[in-house]
Amino acid sequence: MTGPSERTVTFVTGNAHKLAEAAALLSPCGITVRQADLGYPEVQADSLEEVALAGIAWCMEKLKKPCLLEDAGLFIKALGGFPGPYSRYVHETIGNAGIMRLMEGAQDRSAVFRSVIAYHDGTEPHLFIGETLGHISTRLEGTRGFGYDPLFVPTGYDLTFGQMEQQEKNAVSHRGMSLRAFVSFLSERRC
């Protein structure tokens, strides 16, 4: 699918922070982001890719037009990749304080934040992946952003995502990366 309709993208999300991050990155590329807060079901699966693909199939069925969603997860090495695809549930239950408790005494604090964008073009789904390496901070720091932002420090920085301006976070974040891959895909398709 090509043409002007690709200039407006429907982002299925109820998360205002994700929406703002996407708009900040996509608007300068001439792509308007429109929110659809559908509350799609997140299936219980072992990978973000599976969750995203199931979600976008459901959204496409509902909306009957091209749309995009994003599923993210924090994978902590010392915890065997936990919470990974269960990041939302874990955040809603034990929260950041619970993660800090689980990490008490851990020598290796390395972690990866992953983002999977699923975009359905009306014919088929496409996935775009972003990954940011980093570590779990020893203290919760920063009041910006959302979710696990106060405990994730991207490699090469002394700041948590929660201490970064939105633009700075977008430049290094998992979501920034998957969104840029999505922008490249759209621009290649227009050629």
Query: Which residues make up the interface to ligand IMP (CB under 6 A)?
Result: 15, 71-73, 87-88, 91, 145-149, 161, 173, 175
Find the catalytic residue in 37, 46, 71, 149: 71
Nearer to ligand IMP, 21 or 121 (CB): 21
Minimal CA–CA distance to 117: which of 69, 77, 85, 47? 69
Q: Hey, what are 78's tokens? A: 């010392």
d(CA 188, CA 167) in angstroms, rounded, equals 24
Residue closest to ligand IMP, measured at CB: 147
Q: At its nearest, how many Å lie between ligand IMP and the CB of residue 161?
A: 5
State which amino acid sits at residue 130.
G
Q: At its nearest, how many Å lie between ligand IMP and the CB of residue 34?
A: 18
Q: Hey, what are 39's tokens? A: 């509350």
Nearer to ligand IMP, 66 or 147 (CB): 147
CA–CA distance from 147 to each of 86, 89, 161, 178, 186 (Å)? 13, 11, 10, 18, 29
Exposed e or buried b per residue across 30-51, where buried means at least 16 C-beta atoms within 10 angstroms of its C-beta: ebebebbebebebeeeeebbeb
Q: Which residue has the tokens 């807060």?
A: 37
Active site (annotated) includes residue 71: yes
Nearer to ligand IMP, 3 or 156 (CB): 156
Q: At its nearest, how many Å lie between ligand IMP and the CB of residue 3?
A: 30
Nearer to ligand IMP, 60 or 74 (CB): 74
Q: At its nearest, how many Å lie between ligand IMP and the CB of residue 99?
A: 11
CA atoms within 13 A on the CB side of 129: 9
Supply the residues annotated as catalytic: 71
